[in-house]
Amino acid sequence: MKRFSRLMLAALLVLCMAAPLALFAGGQNESAGKPAEQPKKAEPFAIAAFIPGVVAGSPLYEQLVAGAKKAVAEHPNASLKVVEGGFNQAEWPEKVTSLAATGEYKLIISSNPSMPFICADVGKKFPNQKFINVDGYLPGNKQIYTMLYNQVEQGYLAGYMGGLVTTSKMKGANPDLKVGMIVAQEYPALTKMMKPGYLKGLHAVNPKITLDYRVIGNWYDANKAADLANSMFDAGVDVILVIAGGANQGAINAAKERGKYILYFDSNVYSMAPGTIVGCSVLYQEKAVYKVVSEAITGKIKYGNADVVSAADGYVDFVDDDPVYIKTVPEDVRAKMSKVVKDMRSGKLALQVPKL
Ligand code: RBF
């Protein structure tokens, strides 16, 4: 018995020593006799998404996070950290600086027209740091890629719908040719693209339409947005375009209570207030972010470039196939809207982006 177990132990030892050799032999390339080439393990690619505000309620920030998550999920070497910068805009440069100073992130991605300038400034102190800014424009900085949406077209689509609604026989519409717009704050993309585009769309329906335009002063005060909306409805406005992030909700609630209408920017949210939201003039930012983040991870992005994308490129659109839209908006109004949407998608109706 004793001898048998000693034999067993010896056999086991031999096996243990031989196993790694056998494994090594298995890794040999039979034809060349060289070790097989292991697939190169991609270097870790950490990404920070800096949200200039808060994610919840801000349609473009929600889309940014969704698009970045999707791209990261497809690359095992990539990771994503989402950092909310909050509503104090004076603190953003310092917060982006802190992210760059860690040296951990191959890429800092952000979104809104003010961010390219903040990133350019931070980049001077951290020359190896790369940035992507969607919904922004800054050509020629080798550390930064930007993508700007044609928001003249986005505004036009909202305006055309607003014009059709205010001149329609819809239940909440009145004979006054008064249309509203509530914005959070003023900045060049708004005053040079969105507002002129909106006016152009309104006047394409009827040049006599007048615009009641109000500024809240921040991106979160839903009570103020509701007060503004109510005073506009009192003055004869029947449909309001809102571009105010989290504050939008106040105007939507007011419109719901008063049986009036809302036009929404950036995302498809018809189901958020069925019967009240009559138009969603959207940007496909989730698709854009998925594309550019994927390109950054795989080293294909061209830093220094500043792309401008329009409806004909598939990034600006009006959602006219949502069942809630179809149920809410009468057929004759939808037919007129569809014609313009089709022309814009095909590029037949194209509007210029001005110098910002
Ligand atoms: N949009 C939001 O939805 N939420 C925000 O908190 C927000 N903050 C912004 C701050 C600045 C300084 C600027 C220039 C824009 C901001 N935007 C915000 C607007 C956003 O970038 C975009 O212009 C609008 O959503 C219209 O597409």
* Surface-to-core class of residue 218, CB atoms within 10 Å of its CB (0-12 exposed, 13-18 middle, 19+ buried): middle
- Ligand 1: which of 112, 147, 242 to mutate, most ligand atoms within 8 Å of CB? 112
- Measured from the CA of 59, which atom of ligand 1 is nearest? 3
Whether 58 is covered by a domain: the verdict is yes
Ligand 1, atom 8: nearest CA belongs to which residue?
Answer: 53
Please check whether residues 246 and 163 belong to one and the same domain: yes
Please check whether residues 162 and 256 belong to one and the same domain: yes
Whether 211 is covered by a domain: the verdict is yes
Q: Closest by alpha carbon to 147, among 139, 155, 156? A: 139
Whether 177 is covered by a domain: the verdict is yes
Q: How many angstroms separate the alpha carbon of residue 251 from the centre of ligand 1?
A: 17
Please check whether residues 258 and 297 belong to one and the same domain: no
Tokens of 52: 């200039």
**CB 52 less than 6 A from any atom of ligand 1:** yes
- Per the structure, the count of domains in the chain is 2
Q: What is the pTM of this model?
A: 0.90
Q: How many angstroms separate the alpha carbon of residue 225 from the centre of ligand 1?
A: 15
Whether 17 is covered by a domain: the verdict is no
Look up the CATH number of the domain holding residue 160.
Answer: 3.40.50.2300
Please check whether residues 106 and 129 belong to one and the same domain: yes
Whether 355 is covered by a domain: the verdict is no
Please check whether residues 124 and 184 belong to one and the same domain: no
pLDDT tens for the chain, residues 1 to 356 = 444 455 454 444 444 444 433 333 333 343 445 555 666 788 999 999 999 999 999 999 999 999 999 999 999 999 999 999 999 999 999 999 999 999 999 999 999 999 999 999 999 999 999 999 999 999 999 999 999 999 999 999 999 999 999 999 999 999 999 999 999 999 999 999 999 999 999 999 999 999 999 999 999 999 999 999 999 999 999 999 999 999 999 999 999 999 999 999 999 999 999 999 999 999 999 999 999 999 999 999 999 999 999 999 999 999 999 999 999 999 999 999 999 999 999 999 999 999 99
Whether 15 is covered by a domain: the verdict is no
Please check whether residues 279 and 175 belong to one and the same domain: yes
Helix 59-73 and helix 285-297: axis angle, to 10°?
40
226 to 21, 230, 231: CA distances (angstroms): 75, 6, 9
Domain range enclosing 202: 151-283+320-346
Please check whether residues 141 and 192 belong to one and the same domain: no
Please check whether residues 222 and 339 belong to one and the same domain: yes
